[in-house]
Structure 1
């Protein structure tokens, strides 16, 4: 979880527990860790407790969920379709991502790194 979201949720610094494992960002740089916190995450009608590592780094995203959440929810992800499906009671629910929002996040991340506007290969969009 990025610090902006942590502050936006009005969580206090004293709610964090220490977390001392090194973390390297997508750009290869060491990320400043603030600590760890366990929070409930709701997806549809399901609620699962998830441990978040809080980091002080730039990101166009608010949080990145990892395998523990995927396993706890029994999620089947499809990055190609920007969807996750998971069992809920006697039915299958799904969460659908936004291709345009994913593109905006990618553009923001590239601009932040000083790379300018990304270009997709001919005939392919993000």
Structure 2
């Protein structure tokens, strides 16, 4: 339910996306939108924005790391069907205060005890409550507030790391090298680099992130994620 004060004060806000918003990115790609949110005063990284999910999902391991009491979970088993066709049982549900920018909303999460690369999956219920509009091209999320439109930016690097960890978990024999950031260099620098360049054999493995399921996710080789330096749980 939208509060009357928020509804009246934001009706004039226009949410738009400009091409220049991608100027800081070498080249827009098909990255997944992974952001950071605050749950009960704890900054939680690796939060996937999934417009194909009909539920907001938090993983049991995330609750443990944030220090949220398990007794707060209302236990009732319920099946979740992913796009891949697999069924996962939700452990129960829990209501948590989620802060995004300057806006805080109490959100009902389904609790899932299953391995995946993300801490939280925010689906359509939360997006609708926030009246938020995600743009995968601009890799950001915009939403109206009484003081205007606010923006939460995704982190391509965390997206890459999450994807690499997810693929490594599924296929331990698979080697994945993260994309290198594109930079403009002169022809002379390019020739010098080609002569001296050595192959970087370092891989982002599942050890980077503790593996956690593909619930409503369409992970493919063009989808990557990032790591946060603040309370990365």
The TM tier, using the shorter chain, reads: 0.7 to 0.9
- Aligned residue among 175, 199, 208 for 1:117: 175
Aligned-pair Cα RMSD in Å: 2.4
Within the alignment, does 1:12 sit opposite 2:63 as a pair? no
The structure with more radius of gyration: 2
Q: With the length of structure 2 as denominator, give the TM-score of the two structures.
A: 0.48
8 Å Cα contact 1:34/1:55 also seen in 2: yes
Q: CA shift at 1:101, angstroms? A: 0.8
Unaligned runs of 5+ in 2: 1-57, 179-221, 225-233
TM-superposition CA deviations, 1:3-43 (whole Å, max 9, x none) = 11110122222211133321134654332422100111000
TM-superposition CA deviations, 1:86-118 (whole Å, max 9, x none) = 111131100001111101101100000016135
Aligned length: 124
Within the alignment, does 1:90 sit opposite 2:90 as a pair? no
8 Å Cα contact 2:59/2:112 also seen in 1: yes
Give the structure 1 partner of residue 161 of structure 2. 104
Cα distance in 1 between the residues matched to 2:223 and 2:62: 29
8 Å Cα contact 1:46/1:88 also seen in 2: yes
- Aligned residue among 126, 131, 135 for 1:74: 131
8 Å Cα contact 1:19/1:53 also seen in 2: no
Q: 1:61 to 1:27 in 2, by over 3 A?
A: same
Q: 1:2 to 1:38 in 2, by over 3 A?
A: same
TM-superposition CA deviations, 1:52-110 (whole Å, max 9, x none) = 11111111110000111101111011122220001111311000011111011011000
Within the alignment, does 1:22 sit opposite 2:84 as a pair? no
Within the alignment, does 1:41 sit opposite 2:101 as a pair? no
Q: With the length of structure 1 as denominator, give the TM-score of the two structures.
A: 0.85
More relative contact order, 1 or 2 (CA 8 Å, 6+ apart): 2
Cα distance in 2 between the residues matched to 1:61 and 1:81: 21
Unaligned runs of 5+ in 1: none
8 Å Cα contact 1:33/1:55 also seen in 2: yes
Q: 1:35 to 1:42 in 2, by over 3 A?
A: same
